[in-house]
Amino acid sequence: MILQIANDYSGSTVYKSLAQALDEKGLTQVIYTSIREKSLIGKNKIDFKDPNSKIIYSPILNSHTDRIFYKQKIKKILKDVDSKIDVQTISCIHAHTWYSDGGVAYELSKKYNIPYIIAIRNTDLNLFWKLPHLKKYGLEILKNASRVILISKTYKDRVLRDSKIKPLIHSKYSFIPNGIDDFWIQNREERKESIPNIPKLLFIGKFSPGKNVMRLIQAVESLKKQGIPCELNLIGGGGKAETKILEFIKNKKNITFHGKIFDKERLKEFYIRSDIYTMPSKAETFGLVYIEALSQGIPVVFTKNEGIDGLYKRNIGEAVDYNSVESIANGIRRIIINYNNYNFSPKEIIKNHEWKEIAIEYIQIYKAITI
């Protein structure tokens, strides 16, 4: 039985998609997720085919103290896991982050001698690894992991350049990008080859500061002043920046807010009507939505050294400096001017992002480290 530890299980469909694909392959798994709010219980639930698989939502986290006292949080989760799971039945632990999940996996491994794998994500590199008092512990987690999963090429390059990390993982890392929902695989479109006089831009996501929506809007306004009018459709919302963003765009006829849309058929309609997908996030482990956009045949504006940057040699779009409105505007303008040059193949791209194939890779890793 595999124990998956995913602190953000309720906040992302990535973990659900992988768990479903593993379930389809007959793998028994327990997913443990510690949460801050009881309202998250049942989110991203799965009707497992395997009757012994389950998800444990544990509302034990404190929004304030657990963000500050990392070691205390790990001890709390460790105690909770011990009380709710018969750890002796676990053959392998899959921690979905280096620090928040990996710390728990490391402690369980020390106590029960169970092998574990970890993935390195955005907050691991851009937050925890930068904290001096957690570096030594972070290196212990890496040192004792049986395998380290690197999800994006940019993060792979970053960790393999780090003189402290590289010696610990260079012989035991696997590069496994995320998959996308089967809906996009089964309903891909051909690459769009022409662009209208007034291009339609699309953003889908949360209005959090990290998604950088305000700079995207300012870039669209900058292009308008340069004589390059664009329409921008915003889907999503919520987050700390929502009020500011909605106030800023309320009188702008070229920018439309559509709210949250979860229906994939409706989202597909927006992709088909759009010419460029634009999300210059401050940091992004991977960014599934970029691949969704590419599957629908439209080029993307993404952030340099984050997410999908460097993943494909084909010209899929433009990498920009998230901190520069001018860079974002220039990226959009380059795509508009050279639209036919973005000669990627949606069919070839989605081949690398099928969860059923990714599940096979993980199962092979689980087997390899438990022999």
- pLDDT tens for the chain, 371 residues long, are 999 999 999 988 999 999 999 999 999 999 999 998 899 999 999 999 999 999 999 999 887 777 788 999 999 999 999 999 999 999 999 999 999 999 999 999 999 999 999 999 999 999 999 999 999 999 999 999 999 999 999 999 999 999 999 999 999 999 999 999 999 999 999 999 999 999 999 999 999 999 999 999 999 999 999 999 999 999 999 989 999 999 999 989 999 999 999 999 999 999 999 999 999 999 888 889 999 999 999 999 999 988 899 888 779 999 999 999 999 999 999 999 999 999 999 999 999 899 999 999 999 999 999 97
Q: How far apart are the first and last CA of the chain?
A: 14
Strand order in the sheet with 116-120: 54-58, 29-34, 2-5, 92-95, 116-120, 147-150, 173-175
Mapped onto helix, strand or coil, the DSSP state of residue 228 is: coil
pLDDT of residue 314: 75
User: DSSP letters along 250-268, please?
Assistant: TT-TTEEE------HHHHH
Phi and psi for 184 in degrees, rounded to 5?
A: -75, -30
In order of start, what are the domains of the chain with their CATH numbers?
Answer: 2-179+354-370 (3.40.50.2000), 183-352 (3.40.50.2000)
Parallel/antiparallel/unpaired status of strands 116-120 and 92-95: parallel
Single out the residue of 366, 317, 299, 346 nearest to residue 190, CA to CA: 346
pLDDT of residue 302: 96
Mapped onto helix, strand or coil, the DSSP state of residue 249 is: helix
> Tell me: the pLDDT tens digits for 207-250?
999 999 999 999 999 999 999 999 999 999 998 999 999 999 99
**For residues 32 and 8, is the Cβ–Cβ distance under 8 A?**
no
The Cα–Cα gap between 314 and 185 comes to: 19
Residue found under tokens 């779009």:
317
Beta bridge partners of 57: 33
> H or E segment at 187?
none
**For residues 206 and 236, is the Cβ–Cβ distance under 8 A?**
yes
